[in-house]
Structure 1
Amino acid sequence: METTAPEAKPEPPAPQASNAKPTWEGLVLGALNKVKRYPRRAAMLRQQGVPYIRFVMDREGKVLSSRIERSSGFRSLDDEAVSLPKRAQPLPKLPAEVKGDSIELVVPVEFFMR
């Protein structure tokens, strides 16, 4: 006698916790995200976007300059993004393999309503 029960399928493997060391870039982005605030006016108007900021930091994580690289189309989001690096300092120190006294980074800052 045949059954009509569905065929048992093996469970997918459980997700593995990553033991990879966080990258220096990931640590910098994490520091920026920790101090990011959604501007009240932008939230009220339901403005969303991804401004790109360009900033320069020294080896010790001090921000030397910060400016908008590519606008989100909304001034309040752009202004908040530009203020992040200085508010988050000191940022993670430059790793030994990065040469020079400073580094210039361009990073996206995501503002999305939940």
Structure 2
Amino acid sequence: MTGALIWRWSEGSTSMLISVLTHGALLGLLMLSATQVPQEMVEIHLMEFPSEKVGSEAESPVTAPRVQSSREDAVSPMMESDPLAVKSQEKSQEVVGEKRQASGGSTGEVVARNSYQSHLMQLLNAKKFYPPMAKKLRQQGVVMVRFRISKDGHVLEARVIGPSPFPTLNESAKSLVQSLKAIKPFPKDVQANTWLFDVPVKYQM
């Protein structure tokens, strides 16, 4: 009788232990998933609009919408330096290429422009961040910021031309551009007084 009682007690204890371990494991998994921080990502793409040509008549706009229709502004094809999927307009690129050849545009100027755009992309990527409040609320979206740089490397203006649904993201993207420092002056091969850029900033979690 004593042996039977001991056996029954041991069997019950084993079942209880298994139950405790099972529930403990489930609780641990729930706590782990609750404390995991979502991975956020900020992607930047740069589209350039060389403007105010020096020493020659400017080209007419042929790609994206402009801030103003002044004949001093000239438009070049988009540059894709980041993963954000923004398609360039091939027809516009062909037209611009033909106009550059007709006006004597040099290979050196094209190389200088590409190098300067890479310089700007490095500065933008070094400054990008996901606003903590937007991250907490899991806000996502794409903000289009247009800004103009002077020949000596200063941001003359910056404004949101394509807002997201969230003011926090809009302000963050604008501040990103306004915070740019240590911008190099234009290369000597770039014949422009100012340079206009569009920057789509993508916030994704």
Same fold per superposition (TM over 0.5): yes
Cα RMSD (Å): 1.6
Q: 2:145 is aligned with what amino acid?
A: I
Number of the residue aligned with 2:122: 30
Residues 41-86 of structure 1: per-residue CA shift (max 9 Å, x gap): 1100111111110001112221111000111221111101111122
Aligned pair partner of 2:148 in 56, 68, 72: 56
| Alignment pair present for 1:95 and 2:163 | no
Percent identity for Structure 1 against Structure 2: 33
Aligned pair partner of 2:158 in 61, 66, 78: 66
Does the residue aligned with 2:186 lie in a helix, a strand or coil?
coil
Q: Distance in 2 between matches of 1:44 and 1:57?
A: 33
Q: Distance in 2 between matches of 1:50 and 1:26?
A: 21
CA distance change for structure 1 residues 97 and 73 in 2, over 3 Å: closer, same or farther? Answer: farther
Q: 1:97 is aligned with what amino acid?
A: D
Q: 2:200 is aligned with what amino acid?
A: P
Q: With CA pairs under 8 Å and 6+ residues apart, which has the higher RCO, 1 or 2?
A: 1
**Higher-Rg member (1/2):** 2
What are the ranges of 5 or more consecutive residues in structure 1 without an aligned counterpart?
1-21
Aligned pair partner of 1:76 in 168, 187, 193: 168
Aligned length: 92
Structure 1 length as normaliser, TM-score? 0.71
Q: 2:147 is aligned with what amino acid?
A: F
Structure 2 length as normaliser, TM-score? 0.42
